[in-house]
Amino acid sequence: RTSGCFTLAAMTAAVAALVVLASLLRTACLDPGIMPRGDPLPALEVFSILKTNRAKPYSHHFCDICNIACGSDMKAKHCKRCNNCLVGFDHHCEWVGNCVAKRNYPAYLLLLGSITYG
């Protein structure tokens, strides 16, 4: 016979493992908030935008790789690893193989919490 305490501990561990696995898959597979790329701009237009941005460095950011203007209120940033601009970019996580940004940030926090306390 197994004791009730052992059964409860095994069930708790199984639920914690499922939460870790589900949040890991969600963080890794969910689109983190990739911004659609713009059409390529002529070099002279890119130069003009970059020159204007230097005068007002905090008003707008232009990504010359993705050809999009990102307002500072979006907190968008280009990830060199994924080669995409992301809204609410936090970091690129090697453990999940994906960027952590606005859309998958809650799943990432659940993953961290479930690993820490599970």
Are 10 and 52 members of one domain?
Answer: no
Residue 109 forms part of a structural domain? yes
pTM, two decimal places: 0.75
Instruction: Write out the residue range of the structural domain in which residue 15 sits.
Output: 1-30+103-118
Same domain, 65 and 42: yes
93 included as an active-site residue: yes
**What is the Cβ-side half-sphere exposure of residue 99, based on CA atoms within 13 angstroms?**
24
Q: pLDDT tens track of the chain, all 118 residues?
A: 557 777 888 899 999 999 999 999 999 999 999 998 877 656 656 566 556 655 555 456 778 788 887 766 667 889 999 999 999 999 999 999 999 999 999 999 999 999 998 6
3-class DSSP state of 83:
coil
Residues 6+ apart with CB under 8 A from 108: 23, 27, 90, 93, 96, 100
For residues 25 and 38, membership in a common domain is answered with: no
Same domain, 38 and 84: yes
Crossing angle of helices 105-117 and 4-29, rounded to 10°: 150
Lookup: tokens for 101: 């940004």
Distance between alpha carbon 64 and the CA centroid of its chain, in Å?
20
Q: Structural domain tally of the chain?
A: 2
Q: Are residues 74 and 54 located together in one domain of the fold?
A: yes
Tell me if 95 is assigned to some domain: no
* Domain identity same for 60 and 15: no
Catalytic residue among 5, 82, 85, 93: 93
